[in-house]
Amino acid sequence: MTKSVVAKGKKMNAKYLNPYTDFGFKKLFGEEGSKDLLIDFLNQLLPARHQIATLLFNNSEQLNETLTERTAIFDIYCQTETGSKFIVEMQKAKVNYFKDRSLFYSTFPIREQAKKGGWDFKLLPVYFIAILDFHYDEKEEERKFRRDVCLKDQDGDVFFDKLHFKFLQMPLFNKQEDELETHFDKWVYFLKNLESFDHIPQILKEPVFEKGFDIAELAHLQPKQYESYQKSLLEYWEVKNVMDTSFGEGFIEGEAKGKLEGKIEVAKALKRQEQSVETIMDATGLSREEIEVL
């Protein structure tokens, strides 16, 4: 077993969920009961004029007008009471044409503002916010943890102030607890290290983070939720293992190896939770015989 898989296997005994997983991210930020966490986090990224008081969740699946056009599925899609729209994405691994994809996604909340009949084309602000568990900047010397992007002219002056992109390259955030200076620093520290915490650090003992820890505690999940989280965690490991092993061992071999080892680790964890063999089979795709010999 590779070192990377061993390290991930140890996290199977984690107290808190992994926010990079689909389940974990939406549990923290995408439910009615955790809406105040999302508002607090987004307000750290927004200028004073666009601060959020309330949010309404929109359907995260935006279908185009015809079946021949592409479907866009966002992690979280929401809007304020004034109509400003936000797409919030958690990206686990690098994808081709990431910047193109981000721009394409931003067109959906722009187009849906069009009104039938007499419309003067006035648009409300649109924000695309991406939390990235990888480097999207190819050249190391050009990498920035946070990149705020908007349309500017040749002199660097803002040309259009209603379309914004905010990218957070999480691997580039390396501040330790005693180096955190702002509320935004605390949020990034919380997200990056949540799965590895076994208690609430003193610096994060604020109501918003304490609620985040409470929501993220695995012991509070219902059995069905825990099973869904394990499936989501397995998917996360598969993606990360493919990325980790695709260099040196060959992509195909690494992908197969990563998937199998990830499934085994999930199965072991579910056995420690005394889940039924049937539940483990559903969660991992392993056979009864493979599970029983673990």
3-class state of residue 82 by DSSP: coil
**Top-confidence range, 45-59, 112-126, 156-170, 244-258:** 156-170
Let me know if residue 86 belongs to a domain: yes
Q: Mark whether 209 and 234 lie in a shared domain.
A: no
pLDDT band at 294 (very low <50, low <70, confident <90, very high): confident
Q: Mark whether 189 and 49 lie in a shared domain.
A: yes
Q: Which of 56, 62, 162 is nearest to 112 (CA)?
A: 62
Range from 160-164, 190-194, 213-217, 268-272 carrying the lowest mean pLDDT: 268-272
- pTM for the model stands at 0.78
Q: Which of 56, 79, 184, 75 is nearest to 126 (CA)?
A: 79
C-alpha span between 214 and 199 (Å, rounded): 11
Residue 190 pLDDT > 90: yes
Instruction: Among 216, 248, 274, give the residue marking a domain's end.
Output: 216
Q: Which of 19, 15, 40 is nearest to 28 (CA)?
A: 19
Let me know if residue 290 belongs to a domain: no
Other Cβ atoms closer than 10 A to 14: 18
Look at residue 1 in the predicted model and tell me its pLDDT: 35
C-alpha span between 60 and 85 (Å, rounded): 12
Domain that holds residue 259: 1-16+220-283
Q: Mark whether 195 and 83 lie in a shared domain.
A: yes
Q: Mark whether 247 and 201 lie in a shared domain.
A: no
Q: Mark whether 177 and 241 lie in a shared domain.
A: no
Q: Mark whether 193 and 273 lie in a shared domain.
A: no
Q: Mark whether 159 and 279 lie in a shared domain.
A: no
Q: Which of 105, 156, 146 is nearest to 127 (CA)?
A: 105
Look at residue 98 in the predicted model and tell me its pLDDT: 86
C-alpha span between 1 and 283 (Å, rounded): 21
Map tokens 């997983």 to a residue.
Answer: 21
Let me know if residue 268 belongs to a domain: yes
Instruction: Among 216, 232, 247, give the residue marking a domain's end.
Output: 216
Contact, 132 vs 91, CB < 8 A? yes
Instruction: Among 216, 237, 269, give the residue marking a domain's end.
Output: 216
Q: How many domains does the chain have?
A: 2
**Which tens digit of pLDDT belongs to each residue from 57-80?**
987 776 555 445 556 667 899 999
Q: Mark whether 39 and 2 lie in a shared domain.
A: no
Q: Mark whether 192 and 159 lie in a shared domain.
A: yes
Q: Mark whether 169 and 34 lie in a shared domain.
A: yes
Q: Which of 37, 76, 12, 75 is nearest to 226 (CA)?
A: 12
